Amino acid sequence: MLSVCMIAKNEARCIADAVLSVKPVADEIIVVDTGSTDGTAEIARGLGAVVIPYVWRDDFSHARNFSVEHAGGDWVLFLDADEVISLIDAKKIPCLCASSVPVAGYMITQRNYTNDTRRVGFVPCSGDYREDLGSAGFVPVDRIGIFRRDPRIRFTGIIHETVAQSIREIGGVLGATDIVAHHYGHLDMAVREKKTDYYLELGLRQIELTPESPKPYYDVGIIYLNRGDFISAQKYLLKTFELDSEYIDISLNLALLYFKWLKFDEALRYAEHADKQGTHSPAVLLLKGVIYDALGHFDTACSIFQQGMELYSDNMAFSENMALLAMKTNDLTTAQKIFLDILRRDPACQNAFAGLIQIYYTEGRYEQAARLIDIRESEGYYDFGLTVWKLILHARTGRIDLLPAGIDRLTAQGYTGGELQYLRAVVAQERGDIGSAVGLFSTALRLCPYLADEIKSRVASISLRR
């Protein structure tokens, strides 16, 4: 018997999707309502869920444990109210629960969908699930999502609660699955920021309660890392490393921190530490390659990307980075070959598509690049990259009048790439605002070196006019 347990507050917009996604396999669905005023409880109850009121205590573990205490099943699946599980994955759960394998729980992957491509761990959507809802990508997080209903298995941590500690204490074994929980709570930027502020407050409080535990330092450090506050992130992530140098992905995230901070030597040191821990994950190998690339050690980076392509053939990131490295060394023929191979295997890969457009642009094949974009849009694909390249082509072919509306669209959608500075500079130049144009071109040159020839040509034309 499977019990699905959720906690919810004012989730009327999504609670129905969450409940319906697991209803075909759940023997009971328990929704602990923490004070909704928007009809969440009524919607869940109308779909057959057992709704139990709960007074919120600023402690996610307490609420989760409260829901489990009301479960009657042999197994528990915990889900957020803004999550769904696809039917194809949901159907796998009863088989896991009926298995004779002596495990205490099963790992699942939470996909935190986002349009913020700067998020740590961002992975572009490939179209493998229709539940991605057209999002730019997601940040994957592994969690224990299914576990036996056992009085010894309880959640801990007032935020980012988990049953991992209690399962470890009883010597429980965890099983692996390829089940995905699709989480949409990060798509609304305003809601996400509000929740993050609250999680940060609770995380700092958890540090006061358990100062010798690495988990709250790690949780707080990741929040700061995602916000781009590298100084604060360093403080809390280094404390995590001090308390437990092998704590989950601490070495990997310290490497990410220093890479984003452009401290490549430190990034490499922690990436090597992560590798020596024996994880040998594709994320560690990929990051090492990217770091060597940034340090200008192209042969070493090429060797690492090649190794990754052989070991993890389904992970397109190695092929993508190999192609980008080929572009950096002006081997456009090899880059084009790799991008075409990626698209043959994964027609939805936007990075490979954008790479092809960049190659055609660099080679002056503007009409071919424009046709590619038109074909892509006619197939129903959309992301920031398509709009950016379409506007860059408009700028190159003199359609400056089309740029302002496109710039406004990108800005409204939260795009912050350096190409935006280039496009704004072109508009400023066209309007005769030379001071602004020169400043914006300077910023764009630093952020988008592949546009160097175009930028230098436009700046030269400004000088000639003077």
For tokens 């009327």, the residue is 12
d(CA 78, CA 180): 13
pLDDT score, position 216: 94
pTM value?
0.72
Residue pair 463/444 in contact (Cβ under 8 Å)? The answer is no
d(CA 235, CA 217): 9
Compute the CA torsion angle 96, 98, 103, 109 (nearest 10 deg). 20
Angle (nearest 5°) at CA 5 between 3 and 6: 155
Residue pair 171/100 in contact (Cβ under 8 Å)? The answer is no
pLDDT score, position 186: 80
pLDDT score, position 237: 97
pLDDT score, position 466: 54
What is the DSSP secondary structure assignment for residue 156, as one 8-state letter? B
Contacts 24+ apart (CB under 8 A), 307-313: 308/282, 311/282, 311/285, 312/282, 312/285
Spans of the chain, pLDDT less than 70: 118, 278-280, 381-383, 463-466
398 Cβ contact list (under 8 Å, min separation 6): none
Q: Does the CA dihedral 160-165-168-173 come out positive or negative?
A: negative
Q: What is the 3-state secondary structure (H, E, C) of 169-186?
A: HCCCCEECCCCEEEECCC
Nearest Cα neighbor of 231 from 204, 200, 258 is 258
pLDDT score, position 276: 85
CA distances from 72 to 3, 29, 103, 156, 219 (A): 7, 10, 19, 21, 32
For 317-386, the DSSP string reads: HHHHHHHHHHHHTT-HHHHHHHHHHHHHH-TT-HHHHHHHHHHHHHTT-HHHHHHHHHHHHHTT---HHH
Going through 217-272 in order, the beta strands assigned E by DSSP cover: none
Burial of 129 (0-12, 13-18, 19+ CB in 10 A): middle
d(CA 63, CA 41): 16
Q: What is the number of other CB atoms lying within 10 angstroms of the CB of residue 158?
A: 22
Question: Tokens in use for 396?
Answer: 């190159």
